[in-house]
Structure 1
Amino acid sequence: MTMLRTLGGTLALCALLLAPRALPAQASESLRAAEAAQRALPRAPRLPRTAFLENRTLVAAQLSPAGDAVAYLREQKDSRALWLLPANGGKPRVLVGSTQAEQLMWSRDGRWLFLRAPRSLTMVGIDGRTGVRVPLGGNERRRVMKLDPSQPAAVLLGERVRIGKGERWRVVRMDAQGRRTPLREDARWIHDVALDAQGRIVALARFEGDHDALYRLRADGALREVLRLRPMERLELLAATPDGSLLMEGNPAGDLRRVLRLGADDKLQTLHQDPRGEADLDEVTLDPRTQQPLAASYRSTVAATYGIGAAQATVADIVRKLPGRDIGLQAGSGASARWLVSERAATLRDPRWYLYDPRDGRLRRILDDPGITAHSPKETALARKLAIAYTASDGRRVHGFVLLPPGVDAARAPLVAQVHGGPINHFRAGYDGTAQFLANRGYVVFQSNFRGSTGHGRDYTFASHGDYGNGRVQRDIVEGVRWLLAQGIGDANRVGIVGHSFGGYSTLLGLTFQPELFKVGVAGSPPADLGWSMRWLVEAGEQGDLPDRSLRHTLRALSLDSTDPATYARLHAQSPLANAAKMQRPLLIMAGGADRTVAIREVVNYAATLKAMGRQPSLLVEPNGGHSPVDPVPREAYLFAMETMLQAHLGGPVPEVPGQRLCAYLRENLRLAGPEFKAFAKK
């Protein structure tokens, strides 16, 4: 929901295809067959709104390096606890009764856990000892870079060093007792580092003022550039091997994100990339001891996981045991060590977790007690998510997904285009709470990964050519809707558009410039003038003072640099704000009062402009909310308000009656109440 940030030829591949299978471009017959199969199913029961607020009972789970324990963070009422589950089938025990941690990492020796919260890092021993607590962020801009693979129990921290009015950037090793060892200080922001077995930095990636670059370090500490990266080229250093090679993931010198080796001779070799040639690497599984890649997962179209090298047989066996699923893997070290397996799908709100024993091929379900799995919707109540591809009017193949509600005649159902944020982002094959909520109400949901989206290679992202106003990007979305309608998917007289952040901007564009198609819109945190919004974002917003300052260069490469007068003028001329007089369709806007990604004053100004023109938009503002709602009541209000708006204009089912707390929230925070929300207007 954010605006811009965040083969070897002999390898045998074993694919996991997330049901349903990907459809080829213009696969009308396959799409119609899938729709007919969904229509023949029983109608799904209507679920409460709260069923679609993604469950955070299980926040994170991590396998120990030896594969003998699983650490996990679990919500319990008003607190979050750290638990440890023995892999041999013993009972779990609580290590920390209360924590704000959101992520966890094991130390290499398996004796410590590093708990990362938004503002702190805490070290906890598996014997119950508590190590140091380190503040994150602050004036030092301290952040956790990665686990230090060269030490028994240490992490690498990046932090800022103030020198008068200037600044430098330092990489520091910190062990579980809090001992600090500076490894490098640099005038440039260091993104990532690779260490040798002795704990010395042998390679680093840093921002050079107008580009990123990868360097090797000589013995005297001097740098030698080995890769100069273009805009939207990224890399992550995975490991340094004894022969001088660097293992990494990214897309330098290529299109798709993939698993790479940079040899000691600085020659780049692809170890694994999407065999279909259409998706970026989403995740790579590493051996915790050797840091060698074991598996690669791709999720931009049909979710698929492939084994690499010696791990091919193991991954293939896991895939066979969970056919048609999106699999996430964590490996223990050694041929007999257990693997932690997560099973995901578009119809699974909460992942299922297993331990896999390579010695006997047994897959055992874990973390499935009622306190964790309660209230998760049955899969039969959720919609299939079909990967589709259609051809735009200029010949470009455009990717996306469509969700078909079970038991519904799609030709007679209202159709909602859901537009992702970013725009440097993309929809994935997995579960989407908002889309499933709408499908459960009988709406067909279309998700376009329009050109300019990530997930399909660098060339696909740059294919937008900066045309983010009422231009090529918006036409990809519109033409995708029309293509679906031509396949008998959706009622052409009942089409709506919804989205958050950039998706909210696209919603405003759709209602402004394509009112004959879109009858109603719901826009979350929408920039009403993308040129102004991009300028504010880099100068004063959340990304205005990022240490690497690279956002300006990314925007310039994407022809979105609003400091350029011509770009600013183009974006403004095509903006919903400059064309507010054309807005005639019903509109709901939702925003956060403390949003540092899209300025609340921009949102309020647009709503006030419409009201001054005699329109009747609704505006719901969470007083201290950020870019997206986080707390339960604002999140439920988001779904209720969206459902109310769509039902009023597309004829979906009447929303369930809101509870007392939700009613009070709406009455307090509806700044403008259109005719759909008169019941909640302040007296």
Structure 2
Amino acid sequence: MTMLRHLCGPLALCALLLAPRTLPAQEAEGLRAAEAAQRALPRAPRLPRTAFLENRTLVAAALSPAGDAVAYLRERKASRALWLLPADGGRARMLVGATQAEQVTWSRDGRWIFLRGPRALAIVGVDGLSGVRVPLGGSERRRVMKLDPSQPAAVLLRERVAIGNGERWRIVRMDARGKRTLLREEARWVHDVALDAQGRIVALARFEGDHDALYRVRPGGTLHQVLRLRPMERIELLAALPDGSQLMAGNPGGDFRRVLRLDANDRLQTLHEDPRAEADLDEVVLDPRTQQPLAASYRSTVAATHGIGDAQAVVADIARRFPGRDIALQAGSGPSARWLVSERAATLRDPRWWLYDPRNGGLRRILDDPGITADSPKEAALARKVAISYTASDGRRVHGFVLLPPGVDAARAPLVAQVHGGPINHFRAGYDGVAQFLANRGYVVFQSNFRGSTGHGRAYTFASNGDYGNGRVQRDIVEGVRWLLAQGIGDKDRVGIVGHSFGGYSTLLGLTFQPELFKVGVAGAPPADLGWAMRWLVESGDQGDLPDRSLRQTLRALSLDATDPATRARLHAQSPQANVAKMRRPLLVMAGGADRTVALRSVVDYGARLRALGRPVTLLVEPGGGHSPVAPLAREAYLFAMDTMLQRHLGGPPPEPPGPRLREYLRANLRIAGPEFEAFATK
């Protein structure tokens, strides 16, 4: 939930939903029908807080290039291990007993597995032999870029080389035995590269100081610029094809992110885009051998996956097996190789995994033993997530979602607006632990993908026009709440607002400027003055020191460049910090003691100002915590505190009592204890 990771970059209804866009009246009618259907269901049992912490036993899974095995990371208590499951139905065997890895990637020859964690890359042979271990990060800022598709078993690394007060960037190939080959060195940050079959870099995308650009790399190593990218245009180099063309994903020269081909004559062609003309491309599936695109997924309002070329029939058959679901696919190489299918939905905390055999259409569920799936909440206990669109007061269509708890009369239920971080981010059609937790307590949850959000094209992101104070962006959220109330969704006298990072900032805005609507707020890591926070982030925060040095340009394009005095003054004038005297609604603020995205001192200062004015505020600070809570106890405290606050002021059910460890955590870390938390205040 980091603010500038969301700025620049803490799952569902799907598949074959290709109907044309509906009119506003039809959407309202559909929403009311969905609410009636949910109201008629039995009331869901209240689940424990811990059921929503997303402590998934299965961390990651990857299909081998031949489609004959699945490698997966499985967590048991405090131990995480790498396992290998034969696709033919044999028993899984453990390859690594202890690892901190979070991602699994196969080598092209299927003999090695690359385990990527936050601090190291480890390479393991499927025969049980270990390869090398490479530290990541550090002064070299070493990162894994991608698998090297030209080699049997190698990855591409990007490394920083310090030269006096300057720096250069190296692209290095490293094979499974640790052999390193320098492929290129650049003075500028290289985002991505493409290699031909001989292992030569033939294209690269890099940051040019005030924009990104795509280059072809000529045989002698000189560069030929092909594309100059506009702000918020992004490309991903997927493959260099034998005919000299480049397969890419991105949005250059258009509004939506899509599958692209740059031919040998530098002409850009669209290979696939959202048939609904509504969503950005989210994921592309490639054939491991030919590097040809097989499928494309779009996940903004609905989640849909479509086949490309010869794979259309296979993907359509898989999608038919999972109506109303979001499917993520991995393909083996060749027409007879198996596919790995991840089944996801708003009502599935943990994905379900399947193997699909294109030879006979066979579908077999895997990785479903009780040790993996036992703690996942039953779908009947979770809320349906309905995609909506509503018309803002200036005529723009705004997208979002509503979570409707089963067995609840939405007209009589409290309504909570949940605002996403970023602001350059978006809610997706899938599972959201905080939203499902609130819905399980009987709250209707509204998630607005207000203008300025991603996922709906570049024009939608720029439609904010920099109006991130008490202006157009905030009005999109407020008008969405009022539209829902007009449809009979939510009790107008019991409306709250919650969010993290930019969502926390929006929470403060809502309580400050719309107190007649929002009765209570919960703000995680909120910047009380967005202009000050943006400037701090550029000059002092972690993300202000991004190696590509593009943050200032991104903010400038979005009219958020707080190094500009006029922009900073505009944002400050509309900020909760400058209007603190207007804030009278009860507020819970949560923050991390070592947050490098939103400065803790600014959060504490805002809380102290409210307290000095006698306002009802609570401040909970996680010692040593970052921008978002990670440790299980800190995340449970986050949910408990939110539950306590909303119950007191919106009339939800009493919170599940805290255990001894959680009670002690609250006593130790409440910097300011408002009336809702007097029982935990240090005497």
- Interval of TM-score (by shorter of Structure 1 and Structure 2): over 0.9
Note the alpha carbon deviations across 1:311-349, whole angstroms, 9 max, x for none: 001001101111111000000000110000000000000
**Distance change (3 Å), C-alpha of 1:229 and 1:74:** same
**Distance change (3 Å), C-alpha of 1:81 and 1:225:** same
- Asked whether 1:520 is paired with 2:520, we answer yes
1:11 aligns with none
Alpha-carbon offset, residue 615 of structure 1? 1.2
For 2:92 and 2:19, the matched residues in 1 are separated by 36
Task: Answer yes or no: is the 8 Å Cα contact 1:35–1:404 preserved in 2.
Answer: yes
2:15 aligns with 16
- Asked whether 1:214 is paired with 2:214, we answer yes
- Asked whether 1:64 is paired with 2:57, we answer no
**Distance change (3 Å), C-alpha of 1:24 and 1:385:** farther
1:289 aligns with 289
Task: Answer yes or no: is the 8 Å Cα contact 2:282–2:298 preserved in 1.
Answer: yes
Write the letter of the residue equivalent to 2:508.
L
Residue aligned with 1:319, SS: helix
**Distance change (3 Å), C-alpha of 1:553 and 1:81:** same
Residue aligned with 1:177, SS: coil
For 1:278 and 1:108, the matched residues in 2 are separated by 35
1:75 aligns with 75
1:423 aligns with 423
Alpha-carbon offset, residue 431 of structure 1? 0.2
Task: Answer yes or no: is the 8 Å Cα contact 1:70–1:86 preserved in 2.
Answer: yes
For 2:42 and 2:105, the matched residues in 1 are separated by 44
Alpha-carbon offset, residue 21 of structure 1? 11
For 1:207 and 1:494, the matched residues in 2 are separated by 48
- Segments of structure 1 that go 5 or more residues without pairing to the other structure are 7-14
Q: Kindly report which structure 2 residues correspond to 1:441-452, keeping only aligned pairs within 5 A, or say none.
A: 441-452=441-452
Residue aligned with 2:305, SS: strand
- Asked whether 1:630 is paired with 2:625, we answer no
Q: Kindly report which structure 2 residues correspond to 1:127-142, keeping only aligned pairs within 5 A, or say none.
A: 127-142=127-142
2:154 aligns with 154
Alpha-carbon offset, residue 466 of structure 1? 0.2
Residue aligned with 1:226, SS: strand
For 1:159 and 1:124, the matched residues in 2 are separated by 22
For 1:170 and 1:271, the matched residues in 2 are separated by 32
For 1:600 and 1:522, the matched residues in 2 are separated by 16
Q: Kindly report which structure 2 residues correspond to 1:41-120, keeping only aligned pairs within 5 A, or say none.
A: 41-120=41-120
**Distance change (3 Å), C-alpha of 1:682 and 1:17:** farther
Write the letter of the residue equivalent to 1:105.
T
2:276 aligns with 276
1:532 aligns with 532
For 1:256 and 1:45, the matched residues in 2 are separated by 41
**Distance change (3 Å), C-alpha of 1:18 and 1:365:** farther
Note the alpha carbon deviations across 1:90-110, whole angstroms, 9 max, x for none: 000000000000111100000
Note the alpha carbon deviations across 1:628-651, whole angstroms, 9 max, x for none: 111111101000000000000000
- Asked whether 1:464 is paired with 2:464, we answer yes
For 2:104 and 2:379, the matched residues in 1 are separated by 29
**Distance change (3 Å), C-alpha of 1:24 and 1:628:** farther
- Asked whether 1:340 is paired with 2:340, we answer yes
Alpha-carbon offset, residue 18 of structure 1? 7.8
Alpha-carbon offset, residue 610 of structure 1? 0.6
1:357 aligns with 357
For 1:504 and 1:286, the matched residues in 2 are separated by 38
Residue aligned with 2:543, SS: coil
For 1:22 and 1:101, the matched residues in 2 are separated by 42
- Segments of structure 2 that go 5 or more residues without pairing to the other structure are 7-13
Write the letter of the residue equivalent to 1:645.
M
Alpha-carbon offset, residue 292 of structure 1? 1.0
2:174 aligns with 174
Q: Kindly report which structure 2 residues correspond to 1:448-597, keeping only aligned pairs within 5 A, or say none.
A: 448-597=448-597
Write the letter of the residue equivalent to 2:307.
G
2:380 aligns with 380
Residue aligned with 2:394, SS: coil
Alpha-carbon offset, residue 28 of structure 1? 1.4
Write the letter of the residue equivalent to 2:261.
R
Size of the aligned set, in residue pairs, is: 675
- Asked whether 1:435 is paired with 2:440, we answer no
Alpha-carbon offset, residue 19 of structure 1? 13
Residue aligned with 1:552, SS: helix
Q: TM-score, normalised by structure 2?
A: 0.98
Alpha-carbon offset, residue 461 of structure 1? 0.2
**Distance change (3 Å), C-alpha of 1:394 and 1:298:** same
**Distance change (3 Å), C-alpha of 1:20 and 1:381:** farther
Write the letter of the residue equivalent to 1:652.
G
Task: Answer yes or no: is the 8 Å Cα contact 1:21–1:302 preserved in 2.
Answer: no
Write the letter of the residue equivalent to 1:547.
P
For 1:283 and 1:434, the matched residues in 2 are separated by 25
Write the letter of the residue equivalent to 1:522.
V
Alpha-carbon offset, residue 4 of structure 1? 2.4
2:262 aligns with 262
Note the alpha carbon deviations across 1:121-166, whole angstroms, 9 max, x for none: 0110001111111111111110000000000000000001111221
Note the alpha carbon deviations across 1:240-298, whole angstroms, 9 max, x for none: 01111000101001000000000001010001111111100111111111111110111
For 1:56 and 1:594, the matched residues in 2 are separated by 26
**Distance change (3 Å), C-alpha of 1:164 and 1:570:** same
For 1:659 and 1:21, the matched residues in 2 are separated by 51
For 1:646 and 1:487, the matched residues in 2 are separated by 23
Task: Answer yes or no: is the 8 Å Cα contact 2:584–2:616 preserved in 1.
Answer: no
For 1:19 and 1:125, the matched residues in 2 are separated by 44
Task: Answer yes or no: is the 8 Å Cα contact 1:174–1:180 preserved in 2.
Answer: yes
Write the letter of the residue equivalent to 1:164.
G
Task: Answer yes or no: is the 8 Å Cα contact 2:203–2:214 preserved in 1.
Answer: yes
2:11 aligns with none
Task: Answer yes or no: is the 8 Å Cα contact 1:505–1:523 preserved in 2.
Answer: yes
Task: Answer yes or no: is the 8 Å Cα contact 2:18–2:275 preserved in 1.
Answer: no
Alpha-carbon offset, residue 30 of structure 1? 1.0
For 1:530 and 1:25, the matched residues in 2 are separated by 33
Alpha-carbon offset, residue 20 of structure 1? 13
Residue aligned with 1:426, SS: coil
1:604 aligns with 604
Write the letter of the residue equivalent to 1:70.
V
* Comparing 27-36 and 570-579, the one that deviates more: 27-36
Task: Answer yes or no: is the 8 Å Cα contact 2:585–2:616 preserved in 1.
Answer: no
1:368 aligns with 368
For 1:372 and 1:438, the matched residues in 2 are separated by 25
Note the alpha carbon deviations across 1:562-585, whole angstroms, 9 max, x for none: 000000000000000000000000
Alpha-carbon offset, residue 55 of structure 1? 2.9
For 1:33 and 1:210, the matched residues in 2 are separated by 50
Task: Answer yes or no: is the 8 Å Cα contact 1:354–1:363 preserved in 2.
Answer: yes
How big is the alpha-carbon RMSD for the aligned residues of Structure 1 and Structure 2? Answer: 1.2
Note the alpha carbon deviations across 1:66-104, whole angstroms, 9 max, x for none: 000000001011110000000000000000000000111
Percent identity among equivalent residues? 83
Write the letter of the residue equivalent to 1:594.
A
Alpha-carbon offset, residue 56 of structure 1? 2.0
Task: Answer yes or no: is the 8 Å Cα contact 1:21–1:386 preserved in 2.
Answer: no
For 2:75 and 2:544, the matched residues in 1 are separated by 34
Residue aligned with 1:561, SS: coil
Residue aligned with 1:427, SS: coil
Write the letter of the residue equivalent to 2:330.
Q
Alpha-carbon offset, residue 200 of structure 1? 0.1
Residue aligned with 1:350, SS: strand
Task: Answer yes or no: is the 8 Å Cα contact 1:40–1:407 preserved in 2.
Answer: yes
Write the letter of the residue equivalent to 1:320.
R
- Asked whether 1:390 is paired with 2:390, we answer yes
For 2:558 and 2:16, the matched residues in 1 are separated by 33
